[in-house]
Structure 1
Amino acid sequence: MGLARWRWLGMRRFLFLGLVALAFLESGTAASGGWELSGHLALEEEEQCTVDRRANLTYSEFIHQYAFSKPVILQRLTNNSLFQDLCSKEKLLAEFGDFKIRLSTANTFSYQKVDLSFQDYVEQLLQPQDPNSLGNGAGSGVPFHWHGPGYSEVIFGRKRWFLYPPEKTPDFHPNKTTLAWLRNTYPALPITERPLQCTVQAGEVLYFPDRWWHATLNLDTSVFISTFLG
């Protein structure tokens, strides 16, 4: 299963930790929050990011250039050191180890659900992703899908995104992983048929407009918070 969802209660406010994917765990360092940031697969960033990266973007610029037309990666938007502290392995397990979470795939034709504690998820189910099966860890991600506009902020790790505009349906099998698509389908795509893509780093926020197709691939441990707009 490549998707863990749960509701995070407390910390002065209600926060929804939308999608959290944690790669294969080892010793980790203080700078990584105790999570292992090195993927166990030959996962690479794209040769060239084709999504705009913007710092100090004004509200007017955002509305006119991106909000309804194309994705953008926002830099130096906030200081995420607080989230890094809150999302350390030690603190998450201490605070939410007993929380029940539901694992499910994002595949269109997969409906299997697994309910278990967050502690069991971390200690028992995190393994490197196999290209041909759904799992947790480096190489996991969400296959192509679309919904309303949203933001995704990376707290730890790196998350590679693939995006198509609403009018351009991607060539993908809805019951196969993003890793399998990247290895088997993507290389054969003509340049003009390839998606916008970029790897979002820790501290960056990706915004995508309404109904944009998107798929994700976790290159190593990826802890991130997603906010979906109604």
Structure 2
Amino acid sequence: MPRGGGLMAPGARPLLLLVVWTLAALARRGLAEAGDGGWQWRGPGAPAALTEEQSCAVERRADLSYSEFVQHYAFSRPVILQGLTDNSRFRALCSRERLLASFGDSMVRLSTANTYSYRKVDLPFQEYVDHLLHPQDPTSLGNDTLYFFGDNNFSEWASLFQHYSPPPFSLLGTTTAYSFGIAGAGSGVPFHWHGPGFSEVIYGRKRWFLYPPEKTPEFHPNKTTLAWLQDIYPTLVPSAKPLECTVQAGEVLYFPDRWWHATLNLDTSVFISTFLN
């Protein structure tokens, strides 16, 4: 037989197929982590794609200086920041596989998805991901909907948060506090307000609805944002509609003090807010 002949040793073909299959699986996993982090819902009951607004009404800035931020946005209107920080390392650590490996046994505190979030429920992070991280039921009330946002154990999650780079802007006399969350498609918090802050999407997309402090929105505090979007939003005259925009992965929205806002996760989303207290 010529040297380098084409006969394959017995048993080599199944082994080769196993190697090829393993490499393909690793490649698929790598693509998932690079794209949606493995978070997107692929099981039965996945919702029809939730849509973005027809036109974003919040300005996007990729070259904003601190002086411009203070002069034009900090006290007067929202803005979406692009490219000010590099959180690629933090993003990689927030993939589904890595978070479950690091924090699957950790207890997390869930809040109800209504304006006041009175009820809290503690359960293991793995259980939340396996059983509660599903698309929002449009008929569910806010106090029947639990999701993970805020109330983080900062000591237990410190190994993750140390890799996050917050936006480089602050306000005089304030301190920063993180609030990390993961929520299913169609979930969100109805209208509420608090102090100023930043909210960055790590995976997924988050649609925001915002009103200035002097313009109280029409909403029910125990109806979900999805229900509001379906029932109330279509009835609003143009002058009564909010500022709105969908924040994409890697973008950061800044909201000023006391601005009303509601959120709607268009995909299973991973996000982190930096509150200026």
Q: TM-score, normalised by structure 1?
A: 0.84
Q: Whose radius of gyration is greater, 1 or 2?
A: 2
Query: 1:153 offset after TM fit, Å?
Result: 0.6
Quick check: 2:115–2:191 contact (8 Å CA) kept in 1?
no
Quick check: 1:172–1:181 contact (8 Å CA) kept in 2?
yes
Q: Secondary structure at the match of 1:154?
A: strand
Quick check: 2:115–2:189 contact (8 Å CA) kept in 1?
no
Quick check: 1:41–1:128 contact (8 Å CA) kept in 2?
no
CA distance in 2, matches of 1:200, 1:206: 7
Structure ranking higher on relative contact order (CA contacts 8 Å, 6+ apart): 1
Q: Secondary structure at the match of 1:36?
A: coil
Query: 1:110 offset after TM fit, Å?
Result: 5.4
Query: 1:137 offset after TM fit, Å?
Result: 1.6
Kindly provide the CA deviation profile for residues 146-175 of structure 1, in whole angstroms up to 9, marking residues without a partner as x.
000000011111000000000000000001
CA distance in 2, matches of 1:77, 1:40: 33
Confirm or deny that 1:102 pairs with 2:109.
Answer: yes
Corresponding residue for residue 227 of structure 2: 180
CA distance in 2, matches of 1:178, 1:77: 29
Quick check: 2:33–2:92 contact (8 Å CA) kept in 1?
no
Confirm or deny that 1:72 pairs with 2:119.
Answer: no
CA distance in 1, matches of 2:258, 2:74: 12
Which structure shows the bigger proportion of residues in strand conformation? 1
Confirm or deny that 1:123 pairs with 2:127.
Answer: no
Corresponding residue for residue 36 of structure 1: 40
Corresponding residue for residue 159 of structure 2: none
Paired residue type of 2:235: A
Query: 1:34 offset after TM fit, Å?
Result: 1.7
Quick check: 1:37–1:157 contact (8 Å CA) kept in 2?
no
**Which deviates the most, 206-215 or 98-107?**
98-107
Distance 1:109 1:37, change over 3 A: closer
Paired residue type of 2:32: T
CA distance in 2, matches of 1:117, 1:195: 37
Q: Which runs of structure 2 are paired with 1:97-176 in the superposition (5 Å)?
A: 97-108=104-115, 111-133=118-140, 134=145, 137-176=184-223
Which structure shows the bigger proportion of residues in helix conformation? 2
**Which deviates the most, 201-210 or 99-108?**
99-108
Which of 45, 49, 52 is matched with 1:45 structurally? 52
Query: 1:183 offset after TM fit, Å?
Result: 0.4
Query: 1:84 offset after TM fit, Å?
Result: 1.2
Query: 1:108 offset after TM fit, Å?
Result: 3.7
Which of 170, 195, 206 is matched with 2:242 structurally? 195
Query: 1:221 offset after TM fit, Å?
Result: 1.6
Corresponding residue for residue 255 of structure 2: 208
- Give the alignment's Cα RMSD to 1 decimal: 1.7
Kindly provide the CA deviation profile for residues 79-138 of structure 1, in whole angstroms up to 9, marking residues without a partner as x.
221121110111111111111111111424653321101011011112210112135521
The number of aligned residues is 204
Quick check: 1:50–1:196 contact (8 Å CA) kept in 2?
yes
Distance 1:155 1:108, change over 3 A: closer
Q: TM-score, normalised by structure 2?
A: 0.70
Confirm or deny that 1:89 pairs with 2:96.
Answer: yes
CA distance in 1, matches of 2:53, 2:224: 18
Quick check: 1:126–1:137 contact (8 Å CA) kept in 2?
yes
Gaps of 5+ in 2: 1-28, 147-182
Confirm or deny that 1:62 pairs with 2:78.
Answer: no
Corresponding residue for residue 9 of structure 2: none
